[in-house]
Structures are given as C-alpha cells and as structure tokens.
Amino acid sequence: MNVEIAGLTRHFGRNQAVAGVDLEAGPGVFGLLGPNGAGKTSLLRMMATVLSPSAGKMRLLGRDPGSYGPRREIRRRLGYLPQNLGYYPSFTVVEFVEYFALLKEMPAARVPAAVAAAVERADLGDKARAKLRTLSGGMLRRVGIAQAIVNDPELLLLDEPTAGLDPEQRVAFRALLRDLGERATVVVSTHLVEDVGAACTEVALMNAGKIVFRGTPEQLTARGEGHGVGDAPLERGYSAVLTEARS
Amino acid sequence: MTLTDAPARPRPRDAGRASPMSLWRLLWLELRRNAMPWMFPLLAALFVFDPFRTAMGYGPFWDLRASVLENKLLPDFVLFVAGVAAWMGSRDSRRHTRDLVDATARPRWTAQLTTWAATTLWVAAGFLICVAVLYGVTASQATWGGPPWWPVAVSLAELALISALGFAAGTFFPSRFTAPLAAVGAFLLCLEGFRNAVGRSSVYALLSPTTSVPDDDTGLFRHYLPDVSIAQLMFLIGLTLVVLAALGLRRAADAGPRLRRAAAVIAVAGLAAAGTAIGLTGTARTQAYGTVIPALHDAANDRPIPYTPVCGQAAGVPVCVHPAYRNFLPAMTAALAPVFRQIASLPGAPARVDQVAVNDLIASNGAAITGVPPVFRLPVPATPDETSFGQNASTFSSYLQSTLVTGFVLGAHGFVAYGPPVGTPAQQAVVLALLQKAGTAIQTGAGPESAHAKAEQVAAAARRFAAQPAATRHAWLAGHLAALRAGRITLAQLP
C-alpha cells in the first residue's frame, strides 16, 4: 500500500482544514474532488511531506514521514506538483527539470536521460531550451508536470494539474496520467470532474476537511441519478453528494 | 484490482542515491543562472572610476596600490554583494518554490548552501578579475617587490561574510525590499557602522578591513606585518561559518541528525574562531612599523628588508634611492642638481643623498643632514599626498629642493616638509633665495596683516640676496653659514 492515512487532521489556527481523513491507496490514479476550501490542497501538502499534520497517522510508500530517514526516502520516490507552481524565470525548461531531479537526489548519471524523457512526456521537446519566463501558463504547468515525474515517482501528487491546459493538452495529459497510474500511485486534486471521469480509477470527494464520498467514478455518477445539478452525469453525482453532505 | 489492494511497486536498488557529482552539477546550474554576473558591468564601471583611478594616482608601489583593495574596491563590492545575496536568498519565497524544494530529498540547507556558494564564487571571480587588472598594471610599472596577497585574502573573506549575511537576510526576511535594504545596510556597516559600533579609537576597529591603511614604506623598507590580517581572517571566516550554520539550524526540525550536528559543530567552530580573533585583537599594539599582535607576530618580520640601492648623480653628488623608486631617480637628480650647484663645497653641504624610510627619520628626531662627510637622508613618503612620487612633477621637485635647502641652511635639526616657515627671518630669506635660484618661485603667502608684513620683509630680503651674483652669494655663505645657522644673522645683514 503506497498511501495509508488514518485520522489525519490539520489546523490553521482555529480553522480545521483537514478533519480526520482516512485514506488508503495503491498504484492507480486517485481523484480528489471537492469545492474550494474543502482541504484538498492541505491534504496533498501533508502527503508531500511539506506540511506536518496536527494529528493522525500517515504512512507513505510503507514508511513513516515523521522520521527524517524515512521521510528522505519517501521524498526520493515522490513527485509533487503544487497548486501554485513557482519557477525560476531565468532557467530553461531542461535546467529547471534537471535542478529538481538533482534535488531529488537522482544519481547524476541517470539525470540527463530522465530529464529528456520527462520533457518529452510533458510534450515540451520543442521548448526544451526556452527560458521559463518566455513560456505561457499552460506550458509552465507542463514544466511542473515534467519536474514532478522526472524521478519516475512511486507516489505522484498533482494539485490542479490541468489548470491552464488547453483541451488538446488535457486529453494528452489524461493519457499520461493513466500511463503513470499503471506503475505508481497518482493522486490528482482537481475541480474538473471530467478529468476524474476520464483518468481516475477511484475518486474521493472532500467537503469541509472530510472525505464524504469514496468510490469509483461510476459509483459517483450513480449517486447523481435523479438528483443534483450539472450538465454531465459525473457533475450531477458530485453535486448530489455535496448537497447531501452539507445537509 | 482496485487502487487500495494493489501491491506497492518495488524500487530499483540503485535508485535514490545521490553522488557528489550531482552536487557539482547543482552548483553548475546555480552558477549559470546566478544574478551576480548581471552586476559585473556596474562593478566594472565603479572599479575603473574609483579604485583603479585612485591606484593609478599612486606611485607603482605594491602595498600602496594594494591598499585600494580594502579601502575602495571592497566597499564598492559590498553594496552589490549584499543585495544580490539577499535576492538569491529570498528566491524560493519570492518565486513560490518553497514547497517544491521542501518536497525533495536533498536537505534544504544543502540547496541553500549551493545557491550561496554560487553567488559567492561569482563575487570572488569578479573581485579577483579586478585584482588581476590592478596587479597586472602595477607589475608592468613596479621596479621592485611583488604583489601582496594578504589584502586579497582578507577582502575575499569579508565578501564571503557579506554574501552570507545578505543571503541570510533574504532567507529569514523574504521580501522584495530585503535586497536593497541589505545592500545599503552592508555598505554602511562596512564603511562606518562597525567602527562606530566598537568605537573609532578602539583597538577592535582593526577587525574591519576598511580601517587598515598601510604605513609609509610598508613592503619597501619593512615587511608587511600580517598579524592584523590573520586576526581579520579568523574573525571574518568565523562569522561566515556562524551565519551559514544558522541557516541550517533554522531548519533543524526538517534536517537529519547528521546535518544538525554538522551545523552545530560549524557554528561552534565559527564562534570559537571569531572569539579568538577578538581576543587576539585586544592585545594588539601599534609599533613604529605597523600593528603587532604578540601571539601572531613573527619576529623575522621586524628586520628591515635587504636591498641594493640604485644611484645617480646630481651635480656630481651621488643620489641613492630604494630600487622601488628607480623610475623616479632621473626626476630626483634633476630636481636636486640646481641646489647642489649653489651649495657645492660649502660647510655641511651633503656629499651624498640616501633615501631612508620615513619612520626611520622620525625615530632619529628628524636629522636630515648628518655624518662626516655629511649625508642628506631623504625621506620620501609613499603615502599619496602632494609631495609623494607619482604626483605633480613640479610639486614633487619643489618638495625635494625645499627639504634639501631647509636642511642645509637650518642645520642638523632642519628637516621640514611642507608647513609654516621655520627658522629665523634671515634663515627663511636665504632658504627662499636658494630655492628661487633653483627654480622654485618665492611666495609670501597670506595671513594676518602683521604676519603678512613680516613675510614681505623676508621675501624682499630673499629677492635681494638672490639678485646677487652666484659667486657673491657663495662667498657670503662660506663666510657666514655658521652664524646664519646659529641664528645670529639678521635680515639687514644679508647682502
């Protein structure tokens, strides 16, 4: 099991961002849905080991991230794309991806090939030597994806990965997600339910810091039959579950 | 199979182990994309218009020219180094990459040290290029000695400290205003702040490199004393280690036990080095040839530097100078020859001119012409002012003539440089007359009315004496020189 979470809680002052989440996941693409402020990003940041939980237990890739040695091992095997991707404008695409490959402590000999592969998989081959300051928002998002997958992660955490991508890129990205999900655990936090329907094998819906639904996209769709609002069946399931949770 | 019951994928055995090579590669990336090189055009312009121009105004003496490294070039660099280091230190916060960096396996402290090292290496490279230009030009002009490296080492250590302080400021207080504030703060600290903090007259002000100005003749007649430089290096390197360790200790919770221990050891070592330097500096005492710290002092440095003088002739009188002044010998003989022609064969006229260290002459109570046969011991300050080598040729010539004539007329205690007239009115008048005949114009100067009237009387007597035929002046001096030196001749008694 790559992700084992029990009673995970995180407070920011009086605000409880994550309230006792239980979650287990193995290889595959796991969708994390929810409205703004549901706690998705906080949960992902805790799974990325950059935010410590206030309470609860978490094991990632069979290790306890609370201890330094295991945490470092987890980070070597982790890919993370934050919601607000920062970047160094003067770096080229290749340099930026290589920089994070080196920070992830990849063996130097493996880095050039891994960087080239990640850049190609993110469909940035023709922009490999471009400075980041010259790229569009969608391209920068793909750079973020490239740096997240450069170390061939066993646990890949993507926070709003398709934000800024055009429809064609989103279709290609979903294919990439499915491919990655065959070998690794991919957790995708998104607002876009169509991404979940197309790429995820399992989905969780968060509201007010708690997971209020857990199942397959088909099960979520089924919850919307005769209920909810939305154009697509999955959206109706999403709104039906949220309405039920809020009531 | 669902997500939850699929087995975790086994990891290849060779994965996830970083090699030292990857750290070098990381440093290379930081070097390529560092902001410091963007400052080089500005630094180059500053270097040309301030330190380099100042140094070229000095004579081609190694230690003198090297003094601009600490007094001019260092403050120029400090401004930019602190700003750029703060800018680089705040990069992850400004660019919102903290989460990205934090989620990687390499400890954040290591990544920060790599960024700091890249910034500091660029700083060092820029500084050393300036040193190379300055020393290269000096090497093509100097006739003696070699480049002093202590000021270079101390300057580099101070730049490393400023870089660390700026970087820490950027890390601890990440804001777009941090860089300019750090730049201004470091500049003021470097120039005035440190000295004011410890007290201007305090011996601890020596710990700041910009307070050090070489003594006259340092590196020519006497060895450069590295005592203070050693203490400065210990102090600056110690503080640099403390600041860098503080970056690691700040993230102690996220670092491993080895890194925490390393940061703690580095901090303690840095504190020990800085504390030792402060203690040693407290024992410093100023001697005739520089500042001495007993525990660091090498007695061998107290011995004069052996050299073979270079000699020329001024109206038949040998003029010998230190080989570092070889290029100025023709100007010296040309300046002294007209005076020697007027005083040749007179009692007490020098039979030889020897250049001596300024401090040696001060120690011997200013006796300019001594010995049998008389030797004119000529001090020439290397410290740049209007009388030193490499300055205005006519001013320098006047200085040499004035020193010789005054020493000759006033006797054993007649050494003066520039300043108010010395001696009796008759002595002053004879000095002025001899100088006028040697090519230096008589100036009565300004002042209170009574002083002005007295100076006019002296000038009139000087003109009258100078108007006499050379043989008449020479004969009068031969007969009255002893009385003149004793102060028994009045203005009215002058021919």
Closest-CA residue to B346 (of B408, B407, B402):
B408
Distances (CA, A) of B304 to A196, B243, B299, B352, B363: 86, 41, 11, 22, 15
More confident residue, B237 or B440: B237
Indicate the residue among B206, B222, B238 that finishes a domain.
B222
pLDDT of B41 = 96
Is the distance from CB of A27 to CB of A217 less than 8 angstroms?
no
Q: Is residue B174 in a domain? A: yes
pLDDT of B22 = 85
Q: Is residue B288 in a domain? A: no
Is the distance from CB of A182 to CB of A152 less than 8 angstroms?
no
- C-alpha angle A62-A68-A72 in degrees, rounded to nearest 5: 65
| Measured distance CA(A10)–CA(A7) in Å, rounded | 10
| Counted domains in chain B | 2
Residue B419 pLDDT > 70, yes or no? Answer: no
Q: Is residue B259 in a domain? A: no
Residue-by-residue DSSP string for A112-167 = HHHHHHHHHHTT-GGGTTSBGGGS-HHHHHHHHHHHHHTT--SEEEEESTTTT--H
pLDDT of B421 = 60
* B350-362 residue pLDDT tens: 889 888 877 665 5
CB contact under 8 A, A108 and B22: yes
Give the CA-trace dihedral at A125, A130, A132, A137, to 10 degrees.
Answer: -60
Indicate the residue among B222, B254, B289 that finishes a domain.
B222
* B231-256 residue pLDDT tens: 999 999 999 999 999 998 887 777 78
pLDDT of B163 = 97
More confident residue, A165 or B234: B234
Rg of chain A over Cα atoms, rounded to whole angstroms, equals 18
- Within 8 A of B260 by CB-CB distance, chain A residues are none
Highest mean pLDDT among A80-94, B315-329, B416-430: A80-94
CB contact under 8 A, A89 and B15: no
| Measured distance CA(B464)–CA(A120) in Å, rounded | 99
Under 8 Å CB pairs connecting chains A and B tally to: 142
Identify the three-state secondary structure at position B343.
helix
CB contact under 8 A, A107 and B18: yes
- A163 residue type, one letter: A
The model's confidence at residue A1, banded by pLDDT at 50, 70 and 90, is confident
Nearest CA in chain A to B255: A68
| Measured distance CA(B357)–CA(B223) in Å, rounded | 12
Residues B343 and B442 in one domain: yes
Q: What share of chain A is helix, strand, coil (3-state, %, to 5)?
A: 40, 25, 30
Q: What is the mean pLDDT of residues B254-260?
A: 82
Q: Is residue B4 in a domain? A: no
Residue A177 pLDDT > 60, yes or no? Answer: yes
ipTM associated with this complex:
0.91
| Measured distance CA(B492)–CA(B495) in Å, rounded | 8
Residue B169 to chain A, least CA–CA distance (Å): 20
- A95 residue type, one letter: E
Out of A201-205, A241-245, B262-266, which region has the weakest mean confidence (pLDDT)? A241-245
Residues B439 and B317 in one domain: yes
Domain containing B324 equals: 310-493
Indicate the residue among B186, B202, B222 that finishes a domain.
B222
Q: Is residue B346 in a domain? A: yes
The model's confidence at residue B468, banded by pLDDT at 50, 70 and 90, is confident
